[in-house]
Amino acid sequence: MVDVLMKSSESCVKGYWKGISTAYPGLFIDVESQTILLNKDRANRVALVSAGGAGHEPFGAGYVGENMLTAFIGGALFAAPTAGRISTALLNIAKLNKGGILAVIMNNTSDMLMFGLAIETVRVKGVQIESILVADDVAHLDADIKNGYLSRRGLSGSVLMFKILGALSKNGRSLKEMVLEARCINCRTCSMGIGMRPCKYPGHNQTMWMLDETSVEVGIGLHGEAGLGRLQGVSTTDLVRVILSQMMRIFVVKPGDDIVLLVNNLGSCNEMEMYTLAYELEQQITSKGINVLRTYVGHFLSTLDTKGANITLLNISGREDWLRFLDQETEAYAWPVTRLSRINDKIPKALTSLEVDDKLPEVDSMVLTEREGNTFKSTILAVCRQLREEKDKLNKLDSESGDGDTGNAHLSLADAFQNNIGNIPVRNLGMGFLIMSKLAENCGGNTSAALYSLMLLGASKSATDWASAWIGAVEMLRKYTIADVGDRSYARCPHPSLLGVRFVFERIWGRELAKSVELCSGQSHRRM
Amino acid sequence: MVDVLMKSSESCVKGYWKGISTAYPGLFIDVESQTILLNKDRANRVALVSAGGAGHEPFGAGYVGENMLTAFIGGALFAAPTAGRISTALLNIAKLNKGGILAVIMNNTSDMLMFGLAIETVRVKGVQIESILVADDVAHLDADIKNGYLSRRGLSGSVLMFKILGALSKNGRSLKEMVLEARCINCRTCSMGIGMRPCKYPGHNQTMWMLDETSVEVGIGLHGEAGLGRLQGVSTTDLVRVILSQMMRIFVVKPGDDIVLLVNNLGSCNEMEMYTLAYELEQQITSKGINVLRTYVGHFLSTLDTKGANITLLNISGREDWLRFLDQETEAYAWPVTRLSRINDKIPKALTSLEVDDKLPEVDSMVLTEREGNTFKSTILAVCRQLREEKDKLNKLDSESGDGDTGNAHLSLADAFQNNIGNIPVRNLGMGFLIMSKLAENCGGNTSAALYSLMLLGASKSATDWASAWIGAVEMLRKYTIADVGDRSYARCPHPSLLGVRFVFERIWGRELAKSVELCSGQSHRRM
């Protein structure tokens, strides 16, 4: 793997803080002490503060903003900030937030010790401060925890906690009320991680954990810690079944409950993977009789560029106020805008489904005699036959510079024309071209077909005579391609493909027409 | 690599559309035709519509929302949607947006042909529609383009265009005005891509392009197309220098100009990399006398999970209105909230720098006689000596279950106490513990030091006698650790580490104290 932007963990962390201080001048960002805070006098409001090591971005700088975190103090890579930095930040925050401070601490030893030390330090200086521990990971259930080896780690449930508590703070709730609500949120949250490709440490070549290529680690921690176990060659459906079965064991969520679902990208999943996972989760949760009232999908809490995800369920049954707090907008840059995450009953829906209108327009057209029409028809069929015969040759020619499917593309076009020859009104040139254009449009969505469809559409619109139709075809095509004479791309260049078409016209309709085509082709220009 | 969530491109694309239809019920999303649109009557406003293949998420579904796109029609993986789907969408959109439609098309053959065909189809049905081609990629400059092989592809500049045009639409501008502005934006935008790790096609094992592990592909296209060339083992500074030197060649941006910088994550860069890159770009651009008025960093336009980035510069000199339009908030889920991207002059800044307050609080304390104080001092020094001597042994013990640095951690603690022994007021027990707590806090930020610092802080707060101090120490520690007697984690468990400390106390202060400690230890409980 490459280290172009990841020379060392120190340079990465420093670069990150310098970068956010550039990108978000609306916040107070002290690069040196890695402190970010809402730089305004919030009167008697309660400050909501968190802290944690680097490598989990956008957590937590991305959540600083009104209606979410008041401040965040960052550490070195995967290491809590020192107590000194935290206490300095807390003392400054206390001056701007006279309602006291609620510290949200991830259940991680060093975070707890450093934050604890800072809390005790500022408390003796008169700062009113309380703390809450986020412990939402249910990869290891209580039985294991009682054995003393493991405990519930803090995962992406923290982000929902930030959002609800931030709104409570903005709404003027007291520190005492916020502590009680935080405990309640904690009890109603459960999360679990899955990992599919490990990240690696900046400046090193080794990956953070090991995984063979077909497995997924279920219950993985935020630093790659092993979890519940590994699944191999599993389907999305079965993977989700395993995750939910573990999550349901703790009875935080049960049938009939209303929940919020958060699907967090640990780093390198693409959006197709994330929403595929979110959909499968939503389906299986719903099938258990649980109502998913909001689904949030995005980059909330990462482990560098790990390919994996965290799944969080928050039980909001009977707590419509929490839902309202989640919906309240925040300026924090990492919280997705949520107005579209819900149905707005105030705005009447304009559509319930897409209407399809495939009526063909009227076109002015030259009308052919029966004999001329039959010649046109047999010409179309002759071209189709020729395309069918030349399929392999066209594929071969294309394979030398393209993906070798031009013959196939023309074959499907030939099939479409031939199979529908009875529907092409060959005596009405304009309508004939228009219907051929539609046939080309609907024959597979390949670029060649679109190209002919456009030409035929152009021809249909100026089919008062053959030469005008040809000009219309060429001009229409050039309008939507930017290549020019001499270009070697088939699709981008009307000219070389026109040569072939001209060849056919020449043979059948004579040199006069071909000459006029040549003239027109030279005159036409891109009008787009 | 793993395919747990990426069995095939068809299932991925379908899963994605199902997923977003679940996550964003506030929008009209037709999964079958892959159409997403603002489902409300927008009266005489102009609709802003785009279309494109899948694999580039959040482009473009993520930009649908008031003040940004009105609609987006998605295709199969890396393939334009068919003209039929686009025209059906356009006909429906036209009913809700009586001001006409502006189609924003990425400069890509199939997008142009399919969109072109749809535009021509709906135009004959009376829909007022214009189009604009996004062509911001400057990896291949005009000289190459004139040769006809390549042209400026559409990259992340499209997103800034969506944002400005979307605000123009919301603000009631006419279709004609919007077309003119779109052309102007296009002329003032330049972009370039870099690639560091290729993605792979869903359901396949091959990666989309090849790159050795120390190189970066400069000028890469959105489908992995080769660009300007490859750089090997380059620094961030030099990489940015190469990118900017190519971008400056086209004179879209020159010294004295005001610009907006967008740094787009192609998929798998982590945020530390992205903001490090953004900062370096901002620094070098500024050093050329160009003013960066906004910096946007995020996931705007991807190539599956490619590790790479797009850099876009938009020249907004003399166009304060564009800046205002960029700042206007949108509900679109993929546009980052921007209120914090600028300085809000209306809210007075409360802080200009962090104030550091390291005054020590007063503590109630037992006062020792001179002889007792000297014994305390020599005890501290004896413990330090012992820790120094046992360094390797502690490291070795730790290496069997941890990372083998516990001896080093204790050594730095011993150094801190020993080097500052003169500053520890050994006759005032409370102040002595407090200063030792501070020394521990400041000696490197490791977990062991934090643990002792917390204990010493706890001791200092109840140092009316030795036994109380000990209880204070234990209770303070247990407050911020969640492990219990019998746990095998050193850091998480006060008990085993207390045993060692008790051993020292036993030897020096006698069995009576040790017994009282044991009693207290049993009584104390976690209070957090």
From residue B70, alpha-carbon distances to A275, B91, B95 in Å are 21, 13, 12
pLDDT for A437 equals 93
Pairwise CA distance, residues A297 & B39, whole Å:
22
Q: Do A272 and B16 touch (CB under 8 A)?
A: yes
Taking 50 as the threshold, does the pLDDT of residue B246 lie above it? yes
Phi and psi (nearest 5°) for B217?
Answer: -90, 120
Mutation target to probe the A interface, by most A beta carbons within 10 A, among B13, B117, B406 is: B117
Of residues A5, A114, A296, nearest to B236 (C-beta): A5
- Chain position carrying tokens 């690069």: A31
Q: Does B521 score more than 60 pLDDT?
A: no
Strand A229-232 with A47-54, pairing = unpaired
Query: What's the full length of chain A, in residues?
Result: 528
Whether residue B40 is found in the same domain as residue B96: yes
Give me the residues of A, 350-389, that contact B with CB < 8 A.
350-351, 353-357, 359, 361, 363
- Tell me if residue B395 falls in helix, strand or coil: helix
**Each residue of B48-75: pLDDT tens digit?**
999 999 999 999 999 999 999 999 999 9
Residue of chain A whose Cα is closest to the Cα of B61:
A271
Contact: B331, A354; criterion CB under 8 Å: no
- Res. B163: pLDDT tops 90: yes
pLDDT at residue A250 in the model: 81
- Which one-letter DSSP state was computed for residue A27? S
Q: Which of residues 116-155 of B touch A (CB under 8 A)?
A: 116-117, 120-121, 124-125, 131, 133, 148-149, 151
- Residue B314 and residue B387 in one domain: no
Domain count across chain A:
2
Is A358 a domain residue?
no
Residue numbers in B near A270 (CB within 8 A): 55, 57, 199, 267, 302, 304-305
Distance CA A87, CA A94 (A): 10
Cβ separation B65–A125 shorter than 8 A: no
CA distance B369 to A410: 103
d(CA A123, CA A121): 6
By DSSP bridging, strand B129-134 and strand B101-106 are parallel
What percent of chain A stands above pLDDT 70?
88
Residues in a beta bridge with B297: B263
Same domain, residue pair B413 and B481: yes
Q: In B, residues 178-217, which contact A (CB 8 Å cutoff)? A: 196-197, 199, 202, 211, 213-216
CATH of the domain at A29: 3.40.50.10440
Q: Are residues A72 and A179 in the same domain?
A: yes
For residues A450 and A436, give the distance between their C-alpha atoms in angstroms, rounded to a whole number: 12
Q: At what angle do helices A429-441 and A370-389 cross, to 10 degrees?
A: 20
Question: Among A154-163, B86-95, B497-506, where is mean pLDDT lowest?
Answer: B497-506
User: Does residue B206 form part of some domain?
Assistant: no
Provide the pLDDT for residue B514: 54
CA distance B222 to B309: 10
Identify the domain boundary among B295, B325, B341.
B341
Which pLDDT does position B158 carry in this prediction? 97
**Among the listed residues B221, B53, B223, B5, the one whose alpha carbon sits nearest the alpha carbon of residue A272:** B5
- Assess whether pLDDT exceeds 70 at residue A181: yes
Closest residue to A23, CB basis, from B91, B216, B278: B278
* Residue B130, pLDDT score: 97
- Paired tokens of B39: 């489902």
Q: Which of A294, A323, A341 is the last residue of a domain?
A: A341
Beta-carbon separation of B18 and A331 below 8 A: no
- What are the structure tokens assigned to A482, written together? 């930017």
A491: left (phi over 0), alpha (psi -120 to 50) or beta: alpha
Task: Pick B55 or B1 by higher pLDDT.
Answer: B55
The reply to whether A443 and A331 lie within a common domain is no
Which tens digits make up the pLDDT trace of A278-335?
Answer: 999 999 999 999 999 999 999 999 999 999 999 999 999 999 999 999 999 998 999 9
The answer to whether the CB atoms of B40 and A297 lie below 8 A apart is: no
pLDDT tier at A419, thresholds 50, 70, 90: very high
pLDDT average, residue stretch A174-193: 96
Query: Has residue B324 got a pLDDT over 70?
Result: yes
Structure-derived torsion over alpha carbons of residues A278, A284, A290, A291, reported in degrees to the nearest 10: 40
A346/B17 Cα distance (integer angstroms)? 25
pLDDT of residue B483: 56
Q: Band of the pLDDT at A143, cuts 50, 70, 90? A: low
Contact A219, A152 (CB under 8 A): no
Residue A513 has pLDDT above 60, yes or no: no
Cβ–Cβ below 8 Å for A57 and B151: no
Q: What is the pLDDT of residues A327-350, one digit of tens each?
A: 999 989 999 877 777 777 777 888
CA–CA dist B398, B167 (Å, integer):
60
Beta-strand pair B189-197/B307-315: antiparallel
Q: Measure in Å the smallest separation between the Cα of B288 and chain A Cα atoms.
A: 17
Q: Alpha-carbon distance B398 to B386, whole Å?
A: 17
Is residue B65 within 8 Å of A344, Cβ to Cβ?
Answer: no
401-420 of A, contacting B, C-beta below 8 A: none
Q: Which residues of A touch B80 (CB under 8 A)?
A: 445
Phi-psi bin for B100: left (phi > 0), alpha (psi -120 to 50), beta?
left
Q: How confident is the model at residue A145 (pLDDT cuts 50, 70, 90)?
A: low
- Model confidence pLDDT, tens digit, residues B396-430: 888 876 677 888 889 999 999 999 999 999 999 99
- Does the pLDDT value for residue B24 go beyond 50? yes
Higher-pLDDT residue of A478 and A163 is: A163
Residue A353 pLDDT > 50: yes
**CA-based nearest distance B133→chain A, Å:** 8
The better pLDDT of the pair A489, B194 is held by B194
Rounded to whole angstroms, the Cα distance separating A45 from B80 reads 51
A496, pLDDT greater than 90: no
Confidence of residue B314 (pLDDT cuts 50, 70, 90): very high
Are residues A43 and A191 both part of a single domain? yes
Q: Chain A contact for B7, CB < 8 A?
A: yes
- ipTM for this prediction: 0.88
| DSSP state letter for B290 | -
Q: What is the pLDDT of residue A335?
A: 93
Omega before A500 cis (within 30°)? no
Contact check, Cβ <8 Å, A148/B486: yes
Whether residue B327 sits in one domain with residue B402? no
Q: What is the mean pLDDT of chain B?
A: 87
User: What is residue A73's three-state secondary structure?
Assistant: strand
Whether B226 has its CB under 8 Å from any CB of chain A: the answer is no
Distance from CA of B75 to the nearest CA of A (A): 10
Q: Is the dihedral of CA A76, B388, B495, B366 positive or negative?
A: negative
Compute how many other C-beta atoms are within 10 angstroms of the C-beta atom of residue B10: 13
Q: What is the pLDDT of residue B492?
A: 47
Residue B399 confidence (pLDDT): 80
DSSP tag of A224 = -
Residue A161 pLDDT class (50, 70, 90 cuts): very high
A382 with A253, same domain: the answer is no
pLDDT mean over A493-518 = 54
pLDDT over 90 (residue B519): no
Hey, are the CB atoms on A299 and B295 less than 8 Å from each other?
A: no
Interval A441-466: pLDDT, tens: 888 667 788 889 999 999 999 999 88
CA distance A222 to A194: 10
Asked whether residue A58 is domain-assigned, the answer is yes
In this structure, are A304 and A176 located in the same domain?
yes
The verdict on residue B190 lying in a domain is yes
Residues A27, A137: one domain?
yes
Higher-pLDDT residue of A402 and B180 is: B180
- Cα–Cα distance for residue pair A371/A359, rounded to 1 Å: 29
pLDDT > 80? residue A254: yes
Tokens 């953070």 label which residue? A208
CATH of the domain at B420: 1.25.40.340
Contact A361 B453 (CB under 8 A): no
Q: Is the pLDDT confidence value at B517 over 70?
A: no
Indicate if the pLDDT at residue A215 is higher than 90: no
Q: How far apart (Å, rounded) are the C-alpha atoms in residues A151 and A140?
A: 7
Q: Are A65 and A196 within one domain?
A: yes
Query: Please, which residues have CB within 8 angstroms of residue A380's CB and are 6 or more apart in sequence?
Result: A417, A421, A424, A426, A436
Listed residue (A154, A167, A130) closest to A322, CA to CA: A167
Residue B48 has a pLDDT of 98
More confident residue, B210 or B284: B284
Q: How far apart are CA A340 and CA B25, in angstroms?
A: 6
CA closest to B444 among chain A residues? A82
Residue B326 contacts residue B163 (beta carbons within 8 Å): yes
C-alpha radius of gyration, chain A, whole number: 32
How crowded is residue B54: how many other Cβ atoms within 10 Å of its Cβ?
A: 27
Q: CA B491 to CA B402: how far, in whole Å?
A: 10
Domain limit, last residue, from B321, B341, B361: B341
Answer yes or no: is pLDDT of A482 > 70: no
Helix (H) or strand (E) holding B105: strand B101-106
CB contact under 8 Å between B4 and A236, yes or no, is: yes
Q: Above 70 in pLDDT, residue B1?
A: no
Residue A359 above 70 pLDDT?
A: yes
Best residue in A2, A4, A401 for a mutation probing chain B (most B CBs within 10 Å): A4
B446 to A327, B386, B397, B452, B481: CA distances (angstroms):
39, 20, 17, 10, 15
Supply the pLDDT for residue A157. 97
Confidence of residue B518 (pLDDT cuts 50, 70, 90): low
pLDDT at residue B506 greater than cutoff 60: no
* Residue A348, in any domain of the structure: no
Q: Provide the pLDDT for residue A431.
A: 95
Map A380-412 to HEC letters. HHHHHHHHHHCHHHHHHHHHCCCCCCHHHHHHH
Please tell me the distance from the alpha carbon of residue B294 to that of residue B160, in angstroms, as a whole number. 12
- The token pair that represents A329 in the structure block: 């907008």
**What is the reported pLDDT for B526?**
34
Residue B442: give the domain boundaries: 370-523
Using a pLDDT cut of 90, give the percent of chain B over it.
62
Residues of B in contact with A80 (CB under 8 A): 445
Average confidence score pLDDT of chain A: 87
Q: How far apart are CA B133 and CA A492, in angstroms?
A: 14
A139, A194, A218, A301 from A228: Cα distances, Å: 6, 10, 5, 20
| Any domain includes B38 | yes
Closest C-alpha among A12, A8, A128, A103 to residue A52: A103
Q: What is the mean pLDDT of residues A354-375?
A: 89
Ordered alpha helix ranges (H), A291-369: 320-327
| Cα(A26)–Cα(A33) distance, integer angstroms | 18
Does B115 reside within a domain?
yes
Share of chain A above pLDDT 90, in %: 62
pLDDT at B34: 97
Q: Is residue A351 part of a domain?
A: no
Please, which residues bridge with residue B49 across strands?
Answer: B71, B103
- Which of B114, B196, B216 comes nearest A450 by C-beta? B114
Residues 46-105 of B with CB under 8 A from A: 54-55, 57-58, 62, 65, 75-76, 79-84, 88-89, 91-92, 95-96
Note the pLDDT tens digit of each residue in A13-61.
Answer: 999 999 999 999 999 999 999 999 999 999 999 999 999 999 999 999 9
Residues B378 and B475 in one domain: yes
Helix axes B109-123, A466-479, angle to 10 degrees: 130
